Structure 1
Amino acid sequence: MLEKKGKFFFTGTGKPDKLMIKQGNSLGVKSILERISPLFQTPVDEEKKGLFYGILAVILWGLTFIFVKKGVEYSHPLVFTLFRLAVALPLMLFFRPKQSLVVLIGVTVIWNLGSFNFMALAMGQGVNASTAAFLQQTNSLFLILFSVLFLKEKMPTSLLISLPIAFFGLYIFFGGASLLKNISLGLVFVLGGAVASAFGMLLLKKFKMKGTFSTVVWLSGLGALIQAPLVWGSVPREEIVFSAPSFGYGVGAFVLSNIFSSIFWMKAVQLSKSASLSHLLFLIPLVVLAIDFFVLGAHIQTDHLIGGAFIILASSVRFVKIFKKQVSSG
C-alpha cells in the first residue's frame, strides 16, 4: 500500500519508493524546462554571435599583452616568440586540421609570425603595452580596406561616422600630439604587425577557416618550425638561451592568445562582417588599460577617461545598429 507524504510516495515500510522519486524528479525537471524553454527559442543573429566571440577574443588579447611585456624582459623578442609557439609542437602529433598544408603555412607566416614577431620586436624596443595597443588599432583600417578590395564587402554608413570618432578618442587616449613626437623603430614594428594581422584575418575569412583546436595548434606549431631558422640566423648566439621565466610567460601567451583567443576570433571572423570586427579591435586599449590598472597598479589619467568615452561611443554606433536589427527581425 502506498502512502503519500509531501511530494514523495512511501511504501508500507515507510521508505520512499525509488521509482516514484525518479518519476517525480523527471516531472519536476520537465516542468522547469518548459518554463525556461521560451528563452532559448528566439533565434540569435549570426553577427550577434560573432560579436560575442569577438569580445571574448579581445579580452584575452588584452591579457596577452601582459605576458608578452614580461616575457621579452627575460629573452630576445624573437626567442620569446619561438618559446611561445613551440608549446604546440607535441600537440601536432595528435591533431590534424582539414585545411591544406599550403593554406596553413600561408596563414601562419602572415597572421601568426607576422603579427607576433612585429609585436615582440616593438616591445623589445621599449614600446609600452598601451602604445603598442594604440597603433595595433590601425589593423582595423587595414582590415576594412582589404575586405573592400579583395572580398568586395560594402562599407556601411555607420562606419563613416564611427571611425573618425574612434580615432579621435584614441588620439586623446594616448596623449594627443605628444604621441606623434615619439616615432621610433618600435612604433614602425607595431604598424607592421597591424598590417600582418589585418591581412591574416582576411585570409581566415577567405579560406573559411573555422576556430577549431586542431587548426590553431597547427598554426602555432608550423610557426615554431618556421621561427626556429629565423631565430638562428638573426639572433646573436649568446642570446639564444633557454630562459625558464620567458618560457613560462610564453606558455601563458600561447594558451590565452594562440589557443583560446584565436579560436574565438576565427569564429567571429566567419560570423561577422569586417566592419563589426573593426569596432571590437578599438576596445583592446581599454582592456589593456584596465589590466594595467587592476593588475599592475598603473594610474588612469583624465586623457584615458575622455578618450575611452569616445572609443566606447564609436563602438556603440555599430553595435546598437546590429542589436536593433536583431530586435526588428525577431
Structure 2
Amino acid sequence: MNRKGLKLAYLLAVLNAAIIGLSFLFTKKALGYAHPLDTLTYRFAASFAVMSIPVALGWIKLKYRGKPLYKALLLAAMYPLGFFTFQAFGLQAATSAEGGIMYAFTPVVTMVFASVFLKEATTVLQKLSISLSVFGVVFIFLMMGESIDLSNMKGIFLLFLTCLAFAGYSVLARSLTKEFSPAEIGYFTIALGFAAFLIVSLTGHAVSGTLDRFFAPIASGTFLVSIFYLGVMSSLFTTLTANYILSKMEASKMSVFTNLSTVVSMAAGAMFLGEEMTVYHLIGSVLIIAGVVGTNRFGRTGTSSASGRWKVNKRIEEGK
C-alpha cells in the first residue's frame, strides 16, 4: 500500500474526529433556532450547494452510468438517512448521555460487520484496544453520574440502530470504493439526504401550517454560521474524506477514530462553554487515545481485504 496515502488517511481520520467533536457545539447553537428536521434540511442543503459548484464547473467529474446505483442507494439509506433519523427519534426518547454511550459501541459493531462481510482480521491486541477505547467513553459518562435506563428500551433500541447504520455504512462504503470514487459516493448520498429531509420537513410544516418557522432561522447569523460548519465541514468534508480513508484503511481501524470526537467535544465544551474538566475526563481521554493508537498499531501486516470487498459486493448482487 502507498505509505504516503496511508499517512494521509490517518491524518484525515484524526481531523474528522476533531470536526465531528466540534459539531456538537454548533448543533446546540443551531437547535436554538430551528427544529431538528429543519436543521438537518439546511445542513444537507449547504453540503449539496457547496459541492454542486465544482461539479457544475467540471472541476469534479462524476460518472454514474453503468455503475451499481442500487448499492449507492443502500449506502445512503444507512447514512445519512438511517443514521440521522434513528438518532433524532432516539434522542427524543432518550438522553444525550445515553446517545453518547451507545454511539461509543460503533467501533465494536463495525469490527464485527467488517469481520463477517469484508473478512477483515483483527488481532487480540486490536480487539482489546477497541474495547479500551469504548470503555474510555463509557467511563467518562458513568463518572458523570449518567447511565443507561433499561426501562426506556425504545430510545435505547433506536440509538443502537444508529450504531448499526453507521457500521453498515463504513463496511459497505469500503466495498464500494472499487466501483465509485469518493466524490461520487459523497455527492450521491448528500443529494439523497438533502432531498429526503427537505420533503419530510416541508411536508410537516405544510400540514401544520407553520411554513414561516421553516424560513425564520435564516435571519440569524449565528444559525447560518452553525449550518455552514455542520453542512460543509461536518457533513460534506467528513463524508468525502471518510470515503477516501476507507479506500486506504480497514473499516475496523477507521471506526475507532470516532471515539476521539468525545475528547474533542469535551475540550470544546471546556474552552467555549465553560464546562468543567475533571480528573476522570482526563483518565477517560487517555484510555480513548490509547485504544485508538493500539487498534491501528497492533494490526496484522500485509493483510488485504480485496477478497472481502468482492464477497460483500457478491452478496448484495445475489440479494443475500
Fold match (TM-score > 0.5)? yes
More helix by share: 2
Q: Per-residue displacement from partner, 1:34-62 (whole Å, max 9, x unpaired)? A: xxxxxxxxx72654432222111111111
Question: Paired residue for 2:63, among 98, 109, 120?
Answer: 98
Deviates more, 1:118-127 or 1:158-167: 118-127
Whether the aligned pair in 1 keeps the contact of 2:22 and 2:268 (CA below 8 Å) is: yes
- Aligned counterparts, 1:1-330, within 5 A: 44=3, 46-90=5-49, 91-92=51-52, 94=56, 97-99=62-64, 100=67, 101-122=69-90, 127-128=95-96, 132-175=99-142, 178-181=146-149, 184=152, 186-208=155-177, 209-212=180-183, 215-232=185-202, 237-238=208-209, 240=211, 241-242=214-215, 243-244=217-218, 245=220, 246=223, 248-321=225-298
Task: Describe the SS at the equivalent of 1:285.
Answer: helix
1:26 — aligned with what? none
Q: Per-residue displacement from partner, 1:84-143 (whole Å, max 9, x unpaired)? A: 112244454716523444343332221112223333445566744x65444222221221
Task: Describe the SS at the equivalent of 1:175.
Answer: helix
Note the aligned Cα RMSD (angstroms): 3.0
Whether the aligned pair in 2 keeps the contact of 1:119 and 1:189 (CA below 8 Å) is: yes
Instruction: Return the alpha-carbon distance in structure 1 between the equivalents of residues 48 and 257 of structure 2.
Output: 31
Instruction: Return the alpha-carbon distance in structure 2 between the equivalents of residues 207 and 306 of structure 1.
Output: 38
Shift of 1:205: 0.6
Partner amino acid for 2:8?
K
Partner amino acid for 1:224?
F
Say if 1:152 and 1:325 are closer, same or farther in 2 by CA, change over 3 A: closer
Say if 1:183 and 1:169 are closer, same or farther in 2 by CA, change over 3 A: farther
Task: Describe the SS at the equivalent of 1:87.
Answer: helix
Instruction: Return the alpha-carbon distance in structure 2 between the equivalents of residues 263 and 54 of structure 1.
Output: 11
Whether the aligned pair in 1 keeps the contact of 2:263 and 2:285 (CA below 8 Å) is: yes
Whether the aligned pair in 1 keeps the contact of 2:106 and 2:166 (CA below 8 Å) is: yes
Say if 1:47 and 1:276 are closer, same or farther in 2 by CA, change over 3 A: farther
Shift of 1:81: 0.8
Please give the TM-score of this superposition, normalised by the length of structure 1: 0.73
Instruction: Return the alpha-carbon distance in structure 1 between the equivalents of residues 11 and 167 of structure 2.
Output: 20
Whether the aligned pair in 2 keeps the contact of 1:83 and 1:247 (CA below 8 Å) is: no
The count of aligned residue pairs is: 281
Instruction: Return the alpha-carbon distance in structure 1 between the equivalents of residues 61 and 188 of structure 2.
Output: 8
Task: Describe the SS at the equivalent of 2:114.
Answer: helix
Task: Describe the SS at the equivalent of 1:168.
Answer: helix
Whether the aligned pair in 2 keeps the contact of 1:108 and 1:219 (CA below 8 Å) is: yes
Q: Per-residue displacement from partner, 1:268-299 (whole Å, max 9, x unpaired)? A: 11111123213312212111111111122211
Whether the aligned pair in 2 keeps the contact of 1:87 and 1:221 (CA below 8 Å) is: no
Task: Describe the SS at the equivalent of 2:3.
Answer: coil
Q: Per-residue displacement from partner, 1:279-323 (whole Å, max 9, x unpaired)? A: 31221211111111112221112321222222222223234436x
Task: Describe the SS at the equivalent of 1:258.
Answer: helix
Please give the TM-score of this superposition, normalised by the length of structure 2: 0.75
Instruction: Return the alpha-carbon distance in structure 2 between the equivalents of residues 307 and 252 of structure 1.
Output: 27
Shift of 1:207: 0.8
Partner amino acid for 1:98?
K
Partner amino acid for 1:237?
S
Instruction: Return the alpha-carbon distance in structure 2 between the equivalents of residues 75 and 85 of structure 1.
Output: 14
Instruction: Return the alpha-carbon distance in structure 2 between the equivalents of residues 277 and 289 of structure 1.
Output: 21
Larger Rg: 1
Matched-pair identity in %: 19
Q: Per-residue displacement from partner, 1:54-78 (whole Å, max 9, x unpaired)? A: 1111111112222222222322211
Instruction: Return the alpha-carbon distance in structure 2 between the equivalents of residues 191 and 271 of structure 1.
Output: 27
Unpaired runs of at least 5, structure 2: 303-320
Say if 1:238 and 1:96 are closer, same or farther in 2 by CA, change over 3 A: farther
**Higher RCO (Cα < 8 Å, 6 or more apart):** 2
